[in-house]
């Protein structure tokens, strides 16, 4: 089986070219073809010699993903894409034309794993179980494919699709770096967000390595007993420990940490609001409130009136608060709804 060329960093591609007697600057040309021009075969790379194009085609593959299904929301234009990996797994990506906060924002929500091992009660991906980590090429190709299919270039990426990104740390951060390369997708570091359900070692490594990307942490409960019930990660990595890590190590020069909070009927009480106000003494955070979406869970969805009351209680907090629009909920493309639907009948 051929290697996927998108698994290689710019430096690694430079070494590949040097090994076959080509100049290292060819690597930047290759990256321009792959990510800026978004070609899907080596023979379109017209500034390469015929022999070089044949060599690349013999040794490498460009696209590891195949489109299986595509759905578009009639409500907000959000699109969901079901892809099949080269070894028969299914992943989903979502294209959001705006999220209610920035009219010019075009976001692709990418997956980092096929399935997920974390077992969060409100998440459809958890019901699949864990299949495997995605390769760097599979993460990047989601953007290539969505751009090609929509004819639009996204300016924002969130690692909030299927899987726990920090359980696939190396491939995820390598993909983020290539997204940011001038000769890659050239997306600003401030427009790339990596979300975690609370993997302590991954968060600490992310901070220690001074990674420039936005960090989002899923909280979803202020009662830690209740959080452990809905998010088993709490038992291994208590949120209190993560909060102390942020207080002690997260640099003041960085962007704020986003705390994500999925609002259920049973976690938006006056007591929950009060605990949220006192939980984060570390003040470089912003709170992202997300209404619970429909799914196969048995959790109760709050009414808009109940959500409004909760938000009003939080308004006196001295931190930014945003409410994430549930884009794509009518096509099961919103937060917690991605399931790689073929697993329901073709589980392996």
| Whether 92 is catalytic | yes
Q: What is the DSSP letter of 6?
A: G
Count other Cβ atoms within 10 Å, centred on residue 325. Answer: 17
The residues pairing with 91 across neighbouring beta strands, listed in sequence order, are: 83
**Nearest Cα to 167, choosing from 157, 158, 177, 159?**
159
Size of the chain in residues:
348
Q: How is residue 47 written in tokens?
A: 């500034």
Q: What sign has the CA pseudo-torsion 314, 276, 167, 175?
A: positive
Rounded to whole angstroms, the Cα distance separating 277 from 317 reads 6
Half-sphere exposure of 212 (CA within 13 A, CB side): 10
Residue 129 in contact with residue 80, Cβ under 8 Å? no
Residue showing tokens 């270039």: 153
Indicate which residue of 61, 92, 124, 234 is catalytic: 92
Q: How is residue 299 written in tokens?
A: 């959790």
Indicate which residue of 116, 120, 123, 335 is catalytic: 335
Sequence-separated (6 or more) residues with CB below 8 Å from residue 317: 276, 277, 287
- Coil/strand/helix, residue 56: helix
- Quote the Cα angle for 81-287-166, to 5°: 55
Q: How is residue 147 written in tokens?
A: 């751009």
Positions marked catalytic:
92, 335
């Amino acid at each position: 089986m051929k290697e996927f060329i998108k698994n290689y960093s710019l430096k690694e591609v430079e070494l590949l070219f040097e090994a076959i007697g080509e100049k290292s600057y060819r690597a930047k040309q290759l990256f321009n073809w792959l990510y800026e021009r978004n070609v899907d075969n080596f023979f379109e790379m017209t500034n390469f010699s015929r022999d070089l194009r044949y060599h690349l085609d013999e040794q490498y593959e460009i696209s590891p993903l195949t489109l299986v299904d595509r759905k578009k929301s009639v409500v907000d234009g959000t699109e969901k894409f079901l892809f099949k990996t080269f070894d028969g797994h299914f992943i989903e990506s979502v294209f959001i034309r705006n999220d209610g906060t920035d009219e010019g924002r075009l976001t692709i929500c990418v997956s980092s794993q096929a399935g997920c091992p974390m077992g969060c009660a409100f998440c459809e991906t958890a019901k699949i179980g864990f299949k495997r980590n995605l390769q760097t090429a599979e993460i990047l190709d989601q953007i290539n494919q969505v751009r090609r299919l929509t004819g639009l270039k996204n300016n924002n990426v969130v690692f909030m699709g299927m899987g726990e990104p920090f359980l696939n740390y190396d491939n995820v951060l390598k993909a983020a770096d290539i997204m940011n390369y001038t000769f890659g997708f050239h997306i600003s570091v401030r427009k790339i967000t990596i979300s975690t359900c609370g993997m302590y070692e991954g968060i600490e490594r992310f901070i220690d390595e001074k990674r420039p990307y936005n960090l989002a942490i899923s909280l979803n409960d202020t009662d830690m007993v209740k959080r452990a019930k809905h998010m088993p990660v709490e038992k291994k990595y208590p949120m209190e420990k993560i909060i102390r890590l942020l207080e002690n190590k997260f640099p003041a020069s960085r962007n704020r940490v986003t705390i994500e909070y999925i609002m259920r009927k049973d976690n938006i009480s006056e007591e929950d609001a009060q605990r949220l106000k006192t939980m984060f003494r570390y003040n470089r955070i912003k709170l992202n409130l997300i209404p619970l979406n429909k799914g196969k869970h048995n959790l109760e969805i709050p009414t808009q009136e109940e959500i409004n009351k909760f938000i009003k209680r939080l308004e006196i907090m001295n931190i930014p608060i945003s409410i994430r629009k549930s884009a794509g909920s009518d096509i099961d493309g919103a937060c917690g709804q991605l399931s790689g639907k073929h697993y329901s009948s073709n589980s392996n």
